Amino acid sequence: MRIVMIGSGYVGLVSGACFADFGHEVICVDKDESKIAKLKAGGIPIYEPGLDDLVARNVASGNLSFTTELSQAVGDADVVFIAVGTPSRRGDGHADLCYVYAAAREIAGALKGFTVIVTKSTVPVGTGDEVERIIRECNPVAEFAVASNPEFLREGAAIDDFKRPDRVVIGIEDERARAPMEEVYRPLSLNKAPILFTSRRTSELIKYAANAFLAMKITYINEVANLCEAVGANVQEVARGIGLDNRIGSKFLHAGPGYGGSCFPKDTLALMKTAQDHDAPLRLIEATIAVNDQRKRAMARKVLAAMGGNVRGQTVAVLGLTFKPNTDDMRDAPSLAIIQTLQDAGAKVRAYDPEGMDAARGLLNDIDYATSPYDAAQGAAATVIVTEWDAFRGLDLARLKSAMVEPVLVDLRNIYPPHKAREAGLRYVSIGRPQEDEFEKDAAASGEREAA
């Protein structure tokens, strides 16, 4: 199949490279000349594990190429994917579809013969209808069908998600689109990946509904963590206890500082706005958005409390800036709100992140960037783990303590067993594990070790 991917950002580049690896002939198109030049030179504009090797291998095989010229590429294509950005629109929170519609207009003028145009960007219900209308208006004689094929890629695990998906959702209104879309995904038949054909509007809603449900699940366990701290329970054990129920499942039940990233914040907001516009408000999603926003500031207050309340002039080491590990994505990362609140309270911030510091420089002011976790902790009155990078899971806690002027470790991801942190001499604060409970368990464990 000859495939064109309009947009060479996260979704477009990963999808295009994976389709090429399936044996399709793929051209990735982007208006950003510097991005295309970098890709042609062998560079990768985003961080995603394994993507550099995947792109290089398929460029070398001739299956993958890059261009800024849309017209020729689309004219020769069997299937054209629209994978441009749909950020939250300023002022009202709706998804900004200007890039999707602009791509539709350009595609319309380049069509030759029957072509399937597929929206892979995350778009509100009814977007496919508008894309079809625009193309029909711009090119009344064009032979085409518009389909919806939302992506379900996790940053940091996108290649595996694409090649071994839980499901592939394809929304069509024109049966002529079915056979080409089946051929596009035919290589997945070896893995027996479920391919769900639905109506176009249903497909568009599935993406938003899925992300909103996961965001709600994260927010739920974060609120349960608050209750655990108040009543003396352990949120990790609660999460395991409820996650063993197959109707609930264990994924997305890890308490932390709130969700962020390129998908959950904008998709929950867009779904909420769509529901309100159709007089079918989603109150649970409205509450999820509000609680998550409050959660990030509450985590900063947790750090302030651990430091005694007065942090003016003191240095706080922040480990982890990206919204999750294995990405350089800083969009709506909890670290942004946490750092801003700490700075507002008069603290100085020194941060370290394995991949996110370049992106952070454009979003954060007046912070120092360290070369390692221990460099970040040097002279700090507290160290805060915000993102659970593997590089932070096996720290020498005694070394960390010796670098700080005050031995306070605030673990917002519950990476460490409390007794391990306290054995290193650290005053340890975590999420959903009450201090009294932790002290008692630590003392009991210490007594057992001494008796042994």
Structure-token match 């950020």, residue found: 87
CA atoms within a 13 Å half-sphere pointing along the CA-CB vector of 73: 23
The neighbour count for residue 155, using CB atoms within 10 Å, is: 24
Closest listed residue to residue 424, CA positions, set 452, 400, 448, 392: 400
For residues 125 and 95, the answer to whether their CB atoms sit within 8 Å is: no
Helix, coil or strand: residue 429: strand
Please report, for the chain, how many H helices and E strands are present, in that order. Answer: 18, 14
263 included as an active-site residue: yes
Beta strands in 47-182 (DSSP E): 64-67, 79-82, 115-119, 144-148, 168-171
Residue 110, C-beta contacts closer than 8 angstroms, at least 6 positions apart: 70, 71, 72, 73, 74, 75
**In terms of DSSP H, where are the helices of 283-426?**
283-306, 334-344, 357-361, 373-377, 397-403, 418-423
How far apart are alpha carbons 168 and 207 in whole angstroms?
A: 11
Q: SS3 helix, strand, coil % of the chain, rounded to 5?
A: 50, 15, 40
Given 18, 28, 228, 263, the catalytic residue: 263
The neighbour count for residue 208, using CB atoms within 10 Å, is: 25
Structure-token match 């769900």, residue found: 196
Q: Which residues are catalytic?
A: 263
